[in-house]
Every structure is written in structure tokens, then in C-alpha cells.
A and B are shown apart, each in its own frame.
Chain A
Amino acid sequence: MSVVPEDRELESLIELSRQSRAKLERLHEVLTTPGHYGAGATPARVVYRENKLRLLRLVDSAGEPRNGPPVLFIPAPVSRYFILDLLPGRSFAGHVAAAGFDVYIADFGVPTREDRFCDLAYYVDGLIRRSVRTIRRTSGASEVGIVGYCLGGTLALLYSALYPETVARLALLTTTVDGDVEGGISWIAHRMGLEGESYERPRLVPAIEVKSWFEMLAPGSNSVLGRVADLWDRLDDSPERLRAVRTMASWVDDVVPAPGRLLAEMYRQFGPGRNGLMNGEATVGGRGVDLDNVTMPVLSVSAARDTISPPEGVDAIQSIVPQAEIVRLRGGHVGIVAGRAAAGLWPRVVEFLGDENAAEPCADG
């Protein structure tokens, strides 16, 4: 039977209507289904609290902690911790815990107004040092493995240089050490005026401003029309896939305000043109940080398509911590810890944390 043009138009209109309706029904289903948004996926106990910090200890399905060596995960204090414990089956920390390690995660929480005075010393010599102290006490181990992600890696490196006797192994993930390598979030922040951030009279830098720096690295991501178009395209995915996307989107879009003093101090010490880590001029609370003290085995992982921490700025650690093992994985800044590229990272970190024969401490350290 031949179809007259009017019928063909109506036919395609019905099909278009059906497809659009199916997308909206899928969106409705996703928006009304509870999920792991803003919280970790693995069962955990809070073993220490201070200010907004919660030190989480992951437990098994019976509510018991693991017996293996303790490992502390330190996320970046300008984002939510749960990227390290995203979803069941997609949790980096959960994967390490399942390998038998006694895993802890530092959840720095969401800073409020008075936290704008937090500086490097507050994090490194305060929150992280007392977290490690708590872990040593609860686990009975004298040394703790540390995994630092992004800016959390910078804090972990500084801590390890100040208190090396408490650190068994140090894994740094997408942690920039060479601030002179062009590109990445520090250069964007530099261009957006971080230089003008006051150390003496700091602001609580609004989340939207921190987010705008990240959006500058992904052109188009700050356009509402572009984002809506992306979401509309995504609505063809299955609800299950969309829920996973939603968890990730909730992390990406849920940037927290940042303590202005911390940003100002990190910029002044490690930013473009300063480069205090590479120059051996880093300080914490006025105390010099000697990276020669970092004598424990170190693994530094960069991501080949990382626009936030350019891989060259990450891999440069080898010139200041010579025993550091350098690994560059395919993928981006977030993808290597929680995306498809994570399959390359997680087993490598488990192997490193459990490897008794990893690079021995420097003899002259």
C-alpha cells in the first residue's frame, strides 16, 4: 500500500513523539529512584571526627573491619570524597578493602565561613596527622599506607615528608608537583585571578567559582544549552546506566566551597612561577618540608588525557623523589579512579600497597 506524504509526516511525528516521551519517562524513573548520591557506596564506621572531617573506616558486610594493613585515602578537599567510593562495583576504596586492606577515607566535609582560615598546616599537621594517629591506634600498625588523589596527593606528600616514620607506602594519583608545567587547574585558577586571593583576609571561595575553573578546562560545559543537549542525548541510555551517570554527575556538579587561605597558600607556594615543591621551598606552618625525607616506596600515577593535572606536571615527581615509580594510564583525571580506565589503576595500586618487595627506602634517606 502506498503511503501518501501526509501519512508519512504523521508517521514520523508519532515516532518522534514516542521517542521523546520514552526519554522523559526514563528521566522520570531516574529522578525518582534513590541511589548512592553524595554518600559512599561501601559500609563504613566513623572512627574520628574533627570540625567537618569524618574519618571513615570501611567494614565488610558483617560490619567488621578488615585485618590487613591500614590504608588511608585522602581526596582533594575542594571536592566530595565519594568519588573514591562511588558505586557498588565501582568503588576504588571498596576494591582495595575487598583485597583485604583495612581502608580508611578522610571525608573533609563541606567548609563553612570560619573554615576560610584553614591553611596547609590545618590540613597536613592537623586533620591528616590526627587521622593517621587514630588509624595507628585503631589498627595497631605503626605505619599506614596512604593514597592521595589530586590535591589530596599534595597534602599526602607534604605529610609524608614531615612524618615519614608513620607512612608505609605512598600512592599519589594525578598529583601535580611541577606547577610550571602549563595547563591544568592551577593555570586556569591563575588566569582567573587566584593571585589576588588574600591569605590574610581570605574568603570562603564559592562553589560556583571553583566550578567555573573546572568548566574552563572543558569548553562548552558551562553552557546550559550544551548541557541540556548532552543530557537529552544521554536519555537514550538504560535507566541503570543513567543512574551510574547520575552518581558521577552528582560528584562533578557538587563542588564544595574552598577555604581561600588554603588556595592562596597553595598558589603562593606551588603555583605557576613559584613551584615550591620542585624548588625544595615548600613549607607547612612555617616549617620547611624536606622531600628527601620521603624515603618510603612511592607510586605516582598520571592520566594521559588529564586536563586538570597535566601528566608532565605529575610525572615530574621523579626528579624530587627519585625512588618514585611512575605510571601513566590511559584515561582522564576522573576516569582513572572511577571510570572505565579505573580497571588499569585499581589492581596496580593494590599490588603496590601489598608489595613487600617494592622499591626499598633510599639508603641515604
Chain B
Amino acid sequence: MADEDPNTEPTLVERWLEEQREWQKTTLAYLDSMVRNEEFLTHLGNAMRGSLLAGKPYPTPVPPAASAPESDSADRLDQILFALRELQGQVADLRMTLDELIAKQDGQDGKEQQDP
């Protein structure tokens, strides 16, 4: 019996079987990533919606109730929170003003010390 020639091109059936083995590897790579990487499922889910958005799920419609005007109590709480945010800004302004006054004063003191 003659030895098999290593340079012989694989037959179509052999190539088909090889292709099936490659598919198994690809599938295993996906399964492996799903198990190892929690975010991968999110990324894959986005890709299945045609998006390459990374890091978070593709935005989906929210139930109408979620975007409806808030109840009075929730509304009031949010208004208080927002007022605190505005206050935060005013305090920041005040702090900047104080820093500027201190810097100005330090500058004047330094100048007076230098001047005879």
C-alpha cells in the first residue's frame, strides 16, 4: 500500500469536517467568555440588537408609568434634593470668593512687606 502524500489537498468532505471543528472552537470561545466575563452577555445582547454599545445594555423603552409625572411626595422630595444641589453651587461660589479675597489679601501683605 502506498504512503499518503502530505501535500495532497484535503477533500471537500475533509474541509467540511474541519470547518465544523472550527465552528466548535468559535462556539466554545463564546461560551467561555459568557462564563468568565459577566459583561460579555450585555455586550452580546447589544450586538444582537445591532449595537456595539459597550459597558451597558442598549436603551429600551421604559414603562409609561416610569416617565410619568411624579407623585406629590416624590416630587417634593426631588425638589428638595434639587434645592440642595443649587445650594451646593452657592456654597462653592462663596468658597471661591473667600479664596479670592484671601489670595488678594496675601498679595497685598506681601507687597507691603516688600515696599519700604
User: CB-CB < 8 A to B58: which residues of A?
Assistant: 253
- Restricting to A82-108, which residues have a CB under 8 Å from any CB of B? none
User: CB-CB < 8 A to B51: which residues of A?
Assistant: 227, 231, 249, 253
Give the bracket for the number of chain A residues in contact with chain B.
35 or more
User: CB-CB < 8 A to B55: which residues of A?
Assistant: 37-38, 250
- Restricting to A35-56, which residues have a CB under 8 Å from any CB of B? 35, 37-38, 48, 50-51
CA distance A224 to B75 in the complex (A): 36
CA distance A242 to B54 in the complex (A): 12
The answer to whether residues A11 and B12 also contact, given A21-B23, A28-B33, A250-B54 and a CB cut-off of 8 A, is yes
The answer to whether residues A116 and B85 also contact, given A137-B99, A249-B53 and a CB cut-off of 8 A, is no
Q: 1/0 contact trace for B69-102 toward A, CB 8 Å?
A: 1100001001101100110110011001001100
Q: Does A226 contact B (CB under 8 A)?
A: yes
User: CB-CB < 8 A to B75: which residues of A?
Assistant: 201
Pairwise interchain contact A24-B12, C-beta atoms closer than 8 A: no
The answer to whether residues A211 and B89 also contact, given A227-B49, A228-B48, A249-B53 and a CB cut-off of 8 A, is no
User: CB-CB < 8 A to A224: which residues of B?
Assistant: 49-50
Q: Do most interface residues of chain B lie in helix, strand or loop, or is the interface mixed?
A: helix
Q: 1/0 contact trace for A215-255 toward B, CB 8 Å?
A: 00000000011111111000000000010011101100111
Closest B residue to A113 by beta carbon equals B78
Q: Does B108 contact A (CB under 8 A)?
A: no
Q: Does B62 contact A (CB under 8 A)?
A: yes
**Smallest CB–CB gap between B46 and chain A, Å?**
8
User: CB-CB < 8 A to B67: which residues of A?
Assistant: 203-206, 209
User: CB-CB < 8 A to B53: which residues of A?
Assistant: 249-250, 253-254
Q: Does A133 contact B (CB under 8 A)?
A: yes
- Restricting to A113-149, which residues have a CB under 8 Å from any CB of B? 113-118, 122, 126-127, 130, 133-134, 137
CA distance A118 to B74 in the complex (A): 17
Q: CB < 8 Å: which of B12, B54, B56, B69 contacts A14? A: B12
CA distance A45 to B86 in the complex (A): 24
CA distance A231 to B53 in the complex (A): 12
Q: Does A198 contact B (CB under 8 A)?
A: yes
CA distance A122 to B85 in the complex (A): 10
**24 pairs, A vs B, C-beta closer than 8 Å:** A11-B12, A17-B23, A21-B19, A25-B29, A30-B52, A35-B54, A50-B88, A51-B88, A114-B81, A114-B85, A117-B79, A137-B99, A198-B69, A203-B67, A204-B67, A209-B67, A211-B59, A224-B49, A228-B50, A230-B50, A249-B51, A253-B51, A254-B53, A255-B59
Known: A226-B50, A245-B52. 15 other contacts (CB 8 A): A10-B16, A11-B12, A30-B52, A37-B55, A38-B54, A38-B56, A48-B92, A130-B93, A198-B69, A204-B67, A208-B59, A209-B67, A246-B54, A247-B54, A253-B58
Using a CB–CB cutoff of 8 Å, the interface residues on chain A facing chain B are: 7, 10-11, 13-14, 17-18, 21, 24-25, 27-28, 30-32, 35, 37-38, 48, 50-51, 113-118, 122, 126-127, 130, 133-134, 137, 198, 201, 203-209, 211, 224-231, 242, 245-247, 249-250, 253-255
In the complex, the 9 A-B pairs of residues with the closest C-beta atoms, listed nearest first: A227-B50, A37-B54, A114-B81, A253-B53, A249-B52, A228-B50, A246-B52, A114-B78, A117-B82
